[in-house]
């Protein structure tokens, strides 16, 4: 099983990156949050989850081992597959997800795309005893405003997808002018892509 890849970023798409490791290109599925940190030609280290099926071997990449481990853990809940598990990592920080599972906070878990109240309850039921140690005294905050550093992450994500630094700056300025709160980096990146027009 591949658990980590260290190499040169050969290409970045809307939902994947190609990592060149010793002349072999590995296609790695990843969310916008992870892709925003990747730039063609740069060196990168990605934590990898390998999913083996009868007809395919799929690699999912993450910024940290913590994100990868939580991605794998979430799939231990009924009806939670790779797509929803990855969306969870994109929507909420790992510590927020772990705290929500440990405390039965289904309202927070329901903020994950594709997860309703019943699915959130199922996640708690299936994973509460597998989540590991969680600090129940300090409640992690997922702020209502935009996340810190979102401008840089969105700009890097746009440039990785082929837009110029100037085009990326223009899109970020437009998003900044809109000033809507409660949006994460993946959502903001998608809005920026719509503003510039898909390539």
Residues of the chain with CATH 1.10.8.10: 149-197
Q: What is the CATH number of domain 65-128?
A: 1.10.150.20
CA–CA distance, 37 with 106 (Å, rounded to integer): 30
As given in the structure block, the two tokens for residue 166 are 């100037």
What is the CATH T-level fold of the domain 149-197, as seen in this structure? Helicase, Ruva Protein; domain 3 (1.10.8)
Q: In angstroms, what is the C-alpha Rg of the chain?
A: 17
Contacts of 68 (CB under 8 A, 6+ apart): 3, 47, 48, 49, 60, 62
Indicate the length of the chain as a whole number.
199
- Whole-number pLDDT of residue 143: 47
Residue from 92, 93, 94, 2 nearest 45 by CA: 2
Domain range 4-62, CATH architecture: Beta Barrel (2.40)
Residues of the chain with CATH 2.40.50.140: 4-62
- Whole-number pLDDT of residue 155: 81
* 10-residue averages of pLDDT along the chain (199 residues): 95 94 96 91 96 94 95 94 92 90 91 91 92 66 55 80 86 74 71 76
For the chain, report the end-to-end CA distance as a whole number of angstroms: 34
């Amino acid at each position: 099983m591949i658990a980590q890849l260290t190499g040169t970023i050969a290409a970045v798409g809307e939902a994947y990156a190609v990592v060149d490791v010793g002349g072999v290109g590995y296609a790695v599925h990843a969310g916008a949050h992870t892709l925003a940190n990747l730039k063609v030609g740069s060196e990168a280290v990605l934590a990898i989850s390998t999913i083996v099926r009868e007809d395919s071997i799929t690699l999912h990449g993450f910024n940290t081992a913590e994100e990868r481990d939580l991605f794998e853990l979430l799939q231990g809940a009924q009806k939670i597959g790779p797509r929803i598990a990855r969306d969870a990592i994109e929507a909420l920080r790992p510590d927020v997800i772990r705290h929500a599972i440990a405390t039965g906070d289904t309202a927070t878990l329901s903020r994950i795309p594709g997860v309703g109240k019943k699915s959130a309850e199922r996640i708690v039921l299936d994973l509460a005893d597998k989540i590991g140690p969680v600090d129940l005294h300090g409640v992690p905050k997922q702020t209502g405003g935009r996340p810190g550093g979102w401008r840089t992450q969105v700009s890097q994500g746009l440039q990785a997808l082929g837009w110029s630094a100037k085009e990326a700056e223009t899109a970020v300025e437009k998003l900044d002018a809109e000033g809507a709160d409660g949006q994460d980096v993946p959502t903001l990146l998608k809005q920026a892509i719509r503003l510039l027009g898909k390539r």
